[in-house]
Chains A and B, each alone.
Chain A
Amino acid sequence: MGVATVTSTTGDAGTEAIKGAGPAQLEVRGVTKAFPGCLANDDISFRIEPGEIHALLGENGAGKSTLVKIIYGVLQADQGELIWEGAPVTIQSPHDAREMGIGLVFQHFSLFETMTVLENIALAMNDVRDMDALRKQVEEVEKTYGLPLDPDRHVYTLSVGERQRIEIVRCLLQNPKLLILDEPTSVLTPQEVEKLFETLRRLADEGCAILYISHKLHEVKALCQKATVLRGGKVVGGCDPREETAKSMAEMMIGQKLTAPDRGESRTFGDVRLDVSNLSLLSDEQFGTHLKDINLEVRGGEIMGVAGVAGNGQNELFRALAGETEQEAAPDTIKIDGKSVAHFGPRRRRRLGATFVPEERNGHGAVPDMSLSENGFLTAFRRMALSAKGLIREMPTKSFADNIIKTFDVRTTGTGAEAGSLSGGNLQKFIVGREILQDPGVLVISQPTWGVDAGAASAIHQALLDLAAKGTAVLVISQDLDEIFAICDSVVVMAEGKMSKPRPMADVSIEEIGLLMGGLHDLEGDVTPANNLEVEGGRVGQA
């Protein structure tokens, strides 16, 4: 794989470009952009025809976001040019870009929670005089493109999918000729993704060019007609996603062969090690999600996945399990190895053999401007006996950090390096390693491979599988369904602070999880699980 395919596909792209009738909607020619210490974009060229859905593929740090910022006028290229409808242009600012007809749907939404949908849309328009006229326009766009949205609802009451719709409607109101979507589906359920794709296809049929940035290859395969693959700031190939497999595109993206995690033989489970029963807890945050009657049991040797769209109570669940919440959970709602820990702080839970890896690495899982040695000490000083009589034991602390670095292949200059100087993947390996080497009975890990390169991700997955094989109960909170399907034995789904019943991975389909992510498990009682997908699907259609 690799070289041969890459050259042939670029060849294809080239001939197609020559064949293309009119000028491209946008052509990027030799764009180069350097930041201090890194060449983010190196001589990037590709073109998008009107009506084409074009994928921009690449891992984190491949240079996708920089390129988008250049096209949208947020950054200026050091070299190279942009050709818009056949004529060279300079795009000085996002304002210019919008005037020309470029719309961008951000990965992170820029919405005001306490304002209505319509007010939020009005804020993003260059000039709005007549709110009623705007309302009519909005309703028209919503109808045409199948984007149901009540203009008068306040944003904080909306789901993430609905919030994204606001962003899309905002863009569509300006009649874009090129619509850029940056990782639009990372916050959507599979069903919401399908709806979004319908909208995008309709737009493309009307001649709008779409630049679709993602690392989710199934989606790219389903949606896009062409793809440009970036790696390390360079274009390493182009292809027609419809003719590739997800695996071949992934290998193009990371530049090496992919190995599937080794799950070992079918595993046997021991006693329940993490037991959560009837856990309800108010969120510490103003717009947080309250936990409602959470029940789950993780047995020794089992990896349970917690799926769900972000913001449905996963963070609150993690904090409740780790003992970080300000409010205490009711007695006996959380048990570790049969011992009630609901009233315990993090340190006592850790003493009982539970360890935790939070989603955010910098500032939550690790202190960025402290050394790796100190960051190893941070969570392990009790269990690994790194302190004595209130003093830090220097040598054991250093050798513990050293051990993590060696065992988990953390690329760094040494134990003295600041945690913040490590790349995301390396720091995550260090944090995961730190908790695993403490030989935990229970490990709760949130978004284990979020923003981590593919190599590190597969190492982390393997480490979790190995840990479970030794009899640890592992709870994986993840938004990435592929990840859950790859390593988990069973799965629960969180929606609006509630949790579905656990299901063995073997008996559950991705569609079913998608429905649960949408918050349908209230109806679960009516429906016999597993073989009644049709019925549940029908309900969605009516809803």
Chain B
Amino acid sequence: MVRLEPRRQHSQSMVYLSPVLAILMTLVVGGIIFAFMGKNPLDALYTFFILPINNSYGLSELFVKATPLVIIAVGLAMGFRANVWNIGAEGQLTMGAIFGGGLALYFYDSESVFLLPAMFVLGALGGAFWGAIPALLRTRFNANEILTSLMLTYVATLFLSFLVHGPWRNPEGFNFPESRPFPDAGLLPVIYDGTRVHLGTAVAVLVVIAGWLLLSKSVIGFQLRVVGKAPQAARHVGFRQKRMIWFTLLLSGGLAGLAGLFEVAGPIGQLQPSISPGYGFTAIIVAFLGRLHPVGILFGGLIMALTYLGGELAQITLGLPNAVTGLFQGILLFFLLACDVLTKYRVRFGSIAAKGRTA
């Protein structure tokens, strides 16, 4: 019989080492998979993880991809800390893009400098609105937010699809299911010429700093942590769980909405049926890879962004299917969770009596 036994003391350094370990094991297993697919593992890994970023343009693309991941993951981490499991960031991202992007389409010939800030606000509001629905269902009817937020993702995606196929389709777009391109006043300025690195990347850095301040220096961040770690203690001192549910779902929804807006007002420049290669879901992995800590999330976001770039390149140069990206992300999450389990527990073989003897 195999059992897991809680460790009396878990090493603090292992908490931070486990992501590193997980990444290494992902590379090993990834190499083995490449070998089975008939590719030279070292070449493939090189193509996947080094080639995409060995020039300055590639590096800039890394930041472009990491931007939404980091922004979303910081928000999600706040919720995860308080045991609020928002799985629907992808939907909130989509609603943010619809709300903010809708404004740009309404003022499609505007040149106002206020358009972009207004889009920021609306994007965040759209995401927060989509996060508010699971919050309401959870606090009112005790409906599990994992399910409701996830299901709302599909509603949001289909709603976007309806809009760009129907009412918001570009009248001059040859019937392609796409909106008009946003006006220049509704596009994020590029902050480094010759790349696609936009204002959103700078915002992502600010979000990380603000998230860190909120979590470790503020009273509300303290409340979040107490609610997550010891719900009964939170009740004892009057930190209300419902308030935390609302706060974290609105915050993570709002940040996801902002990230969605940055995508459509940045690299994409219009609304189209697909605006995200699953950033909202990948951000969940980023949040855990970063130990639910904003600074860790910054690194986690860069690593996960690399899997997107590597996947694209592997598709082009090695002819591997794009699913390899998802595969790598999945393997990484698997090893990460496994490392975490083994940090907290030790594996015991044999019966209880045997354990008594070995202890």
The 8 Å CB contact of B237, one of A34, A78, A370, A379, is A379
B238 touches A347 (CB 8 A): yes
The 8 Å CB contact of B218, one of A347, A370, A391, is A391
Whole-angstrom distance between the alpha carbons of A364 and B229 in the complex?
Answer: 11
- Min CB distance A116 to B, Å, is 30
A35 nearest in chain B by CB position: B359
Task: Name which of B59-67, B128-136, B163-171, B219-227 contacts chain A.
Answer: B219-227
Q: Which residues in A have their C-beta under 8 angstroms from that of B226?
A: 367, 370, 378
A324 touches B235 (CB 8 A): yes
Q: Which residues in B have their C-beta under 8 angstroms from that of A37?
A: 8
Whole-angstrom distance between the alpha carbons of A368 and B236 in the complex?
Answer: 15
B222 touches A392 (CB 8 A): yes
Q: Which residues in A have their C-beta under 8 angstroms from that of B240?
A: 345
Whole-angstrom distance between the alpha carbons of A345 and B356 in the complex?
Answer: 47
Whole-angstrom distance between the alpha carbons of A364 and B226 in the complex?
Answer: 10
Q: Which residues in A have their C-beta under 8 angstroms from that of B318?
A: none
The 8 Å CB contact of B236, one of A34, A35, A356, A374, is A356
Q: Which residues in B have their C-beta under 8 angstroms from that of A390?
A: 218-220
- Min CB distance B253 to A, Å, is 21
* Known interface pairs A374-B222, A381-B219; A345-B238 also in contact (CB < 8 Å): yes
Indicate if A75 sits at the interface (CB-CB under 8 A).
Answer: yes
B218 touches A363 (CB 8 A): no
Q: Which residues in B have their C-beta under 8 angstroms from that of A356?
A: 236
**Contact pattern, B 256-280, Cβ under 8 Å of A = 1, otherwise 0:** 0000000000000000000000000
Whole-angstrom distance between the alpha carbons of A347 and B356 in the complex?
Answer: 46
Q: Which residues in B have their C-beta under 8 angstroms from that of A34?
A: 359
B356 touches A367 (CB 8 A): no
Indicate if A400 sits at the interface (CB-CB under 8 A).
Answer: no
Q: Which residues in A have their C-beta under 8 angstroms from that of B229?
A: 367-370
A36 nearest in chain B by CB position: B8
B219 touches A324 (CB 8 A): no
B8 touches A365 (CB 8 A): no
Within 8 A of B (CB), among A31-53: 34-37
A-B interface contact total, Cβ < 8 Å: 73
Q: Which residues in A have their C-beta under 8 angstroms from that of B352?
A: 74
A391 touches B238 (CB 8 A): no
- Min CB distance A395 to B, Å, is 13
Within 8 A of B (CB), among A80-125: 92-93
Residue of B8, B225, B238 with most chain A CB atoms under a 10 A cut-off: B238
Chain B contact residues, majority secondary structure: helix
Whole-angstrom distance between the alpha carbons of A322 and B233 in the complex?
Answer: 12
A346 touches B237 (CB 8 A): yes
Within 8 A of A (CB), among B334-359: 352-353, 356-357, 359
* Known interface pairs A358-B236, A364-B230, A367-B229; A377-B359 also in contact (CB < 8 Å): no
B235 touches A392 (CB 8 A): no
A366 touches B218 (CB 8 A): no
Indicate if B140 sits at the interface (CB-CB under 8 A).
Answer: no
The 8 Å CB contact of A377, one of B8, B222, B233, B353, is B222
A392 touches B219 (CB 8 A): yes
- Min CB distance B6 to A, Å, is 12
- Min CB distance B63 to A, Å, is 30
Chain A contact residues, majority secondary structure: loop
A76 touches B357 (CB 8 A): yes
Indicate if A471 sits at the interface (CB-CB under 8 A).
Answer: no
- Min CB distance A209 to B, Å, is 24
Indicate if A271 sits at the interface (CB-CB under 8 A).
Answer: no
A392 touches B236 (CB 8 A): no
Whole-angstrom distance between the alpha carbons of A36 and B356 in the complex?
Answer: 12
Q: Which residues in A have their C-beta under 8 angstroms from that of B233?
A: 363-367, 378
Whole-angstrom distance between the alpha carbons of A348 and B238 in the complex?
Answer: 9
Whole-angstrom distance between the alpha carbons of A491 and B33 in the complex?
Answer: 73
Whole-angstrom distance between the alpha carbons of A366 and B220 in the complex?
Answer: 18
- Min CB distance B247 to A, Å, is 13
Indicate if A340 sits at the interface (CB-CB under 8 A).
Answer: no
B236 touches A324 (CB 8 A): yes
Indicate if A300 sits at the interface (CB-CB under 8 A).
Answer: no
B353 touches A92 (CB 8 A): yes
**Contact pattern, B 312-344, Cβ under 8 Å of A = 1, otherwise 0:** 000000000000000000000000000000000
Q: Which residues in B have their C-beta under 8 angstroms from that of A381?
A: 219
Q: Which residues in B have their C-beta under 8 angstroms from that of A345?
A: 238, 240
Q: Which residues in B have their C-beta under 8 angstroms from that of A74?
A: 352, 356
Whole-angstrom distance between the alpha carbons of A203 and B283 in the complex?
Answer: 66
**Contact pattern, B 206-249, Cβ under 8 Å of A = 1, otherwise 0:** 00000000000111101001100110110111101000000000
A363 touches B230 (CB 8 A): yes
Within 8 A of A (CB), among B1-57: 8
B359 touches A360 (CB 8 A): no
* Known interface pairs A365-B233, A367-B233; A392-B238 also in contact (CB < 8 Å): no
Q: Which residues in B have their C-beta under 8 angstroms from that of A36?
A: 8, 359
Indicate if A462 sits at the interface (CB-CB under 8 A).
Answer: no
Whole-angstrom distance between the alpha carbons of A374 and B229 in the complex?
Answer: 13
Whole-angstrom distance between the alpha carbons of A166 and B24 in the complex?
Answer: 56
Whole-angstrom distance between the alpha carbons of A390 and B225 in the complex?
Answer: 15
Whole-angstrom distance between the alpha carbons of A347 and B240 in the complex?
Answer: 10
Whole-angstrom distance between the alpha carbons of A93 and B220 in the complex?
Answer: 50
- Min CB distance A350 to B, Å, is 8
**Contact pattern, A 349-393, Cβ under 8 Å of B = 1, otherwise 0:** 010000010101001111111100010011101000001001110
Whole-angstrom distance between the alpha carbons of A476 and B359 in the complex?
Answer: 40
- Min CB distance B158 to A, Å, is 38
B219 touches A391 (CB 8 A): yes
Q: Which residues in A have their C-beta under 8 angstroms from that of B225?
A: 367, 370
A364 touches B236 (CB 8 A): yes
- Min CB distance A299 to B, Å, is 26
- 13 CB contacts below 8 A, A to B, read A324-B236, A346-B235, A346-B237, A350-B238, A363-B230, A365-B236, A370-B226, A374-B222, A378-B226, A378-B233, A387-B219, A391-B217, A392-B218
8 A-B pairs with least C-beta separation: A346-B238, A347-B238, A76-B356, A367-B230, A345-B238, A363-B230, A75-B356, A364-B232
* Chain A interface residues (CB < 8 Å from chain B): 34-37, 74-76, 78, 92-93, 322-324, 345-348, 350, 356, 358, 360, 363-370, 374, 377-379, 381, 387, 390-392
Given A346-B238, A378-B233, list of 4 further CB < 8 A pairs?
A: A34-B359, A324-B235, A378-B226, A392-B217
